[in-house]
Copies of this chain bind each other. A is one copy, B any other.
Amino acid sequence: MTTETILKSHPAAGADVSDLAAVIDDIAACVQACTVCADACLHEDSVDHLRKCIRTDLDCADVCNATLRVLSRQGSGDPEILAALLSACIAACEACGAECESHADMHEHCRACAEACRRCAASCRRLLETLG
């Protein structure tokens, strides 16, 4: 079952449901990447140098998860809350993406997580722009 299938079944689903599904999938992938990257960093010999990375991973997962949940509620949400939350999500993804990128040569999980963060930030930014 795809995200689009379940979103389409909502009585308030709009015409842009496939765009919404794409954003939701990108955010969900980012939550997953950050959760795994934090735990992977914790198991590296160089954990001492990965403290900040673990921290930004955990923060990013938390902010993205809240955004994912609010966004999944399609019916008559508050645009102001959503806009502020998307801004927080973009900030968290940028901070985490930059930190992970700096370890990308050493750790594949950091490289993959940086990619997931960039993708999520770009999706959230596009959605934020449509909110006007």
Contacts and interface: CB of A to CB of B under 8 A. Distances in A.
A91 B80 contact: yes
Interface of A: 1, 3, 5-12, 24, 28-29, 32-33, 35-37, 39-40, 42-44, 47-48, 51-52, 54-56, 58-59, 62-63, 65-66, 69-70, 72-78, 80-81, 84-85, 87-88, 90-92, 95, 107-109, 111-113, 115-116, 119
A3 B1 CA distance: 16
B6 A109 contact: yes
Tally of this chain's copies:
4
Nearest to A28: B28
Contact of A3 (B24, B32, B119): B32
